Amino acid sequence: MSNIIQLLERMGQDSELQSNDFKNIITESELNHDLKTALLNKDKSSLEELLRVDPEIVCAMIPAEDEEPPHKEEPGTNEEPKNTDS
């Protein structure tokens, strides 16, 4: 798969490869037959399938919930009951 990525990167960087030599570059590449066919036919869906690319990207934003402040203990609530049996 790195061959196809390198080829696509090279084509993206060199505008001459995008038009003039496109067919020759694809034909002479070391890509498998299916990839070459998809590229030459400019078949986007086949190329996505062959490269196992998921074209659907979904993004969701969920607002954060407000954090409750830590519960402060009131003075005297944690004290043990005093023994008044004297």
Q: What is the mean pLDDT of the chain?
A: 78
The pair of three-digit structure tokens given for residue 26, joined into one six-digit string: 């694809």
Confidence of residue 24 (pLDDT cuts 50, 70, 90): confident
Give Cα 19 to chain centroid, integer Å. Answer: 29
At 18, the amino acid letter reads: Q
Q: What is the pLDDT of residues 41-55, one digit of tens each?
A: 989 899 888 888 877
Residue (of 1, 25, 62, 53) closest to 45 by Cα position = 53
By the 8 A CB rule, do 5 and 30 touch?
no
**Helix or strand run (H / E) with residue 5:** helix 2-13
Mean pLDDT computed over 60-70: 80
Question: Which sign does the torsion angle of CA 29, 31, 32, 33 carry?
Answer: negative
pLDDT at 13: 81
Q: Taking the complete model, does pTM exceed 0.85, yes or no?
A: no
By the 8 A CB rule, do 38 and 46 touch?
yes
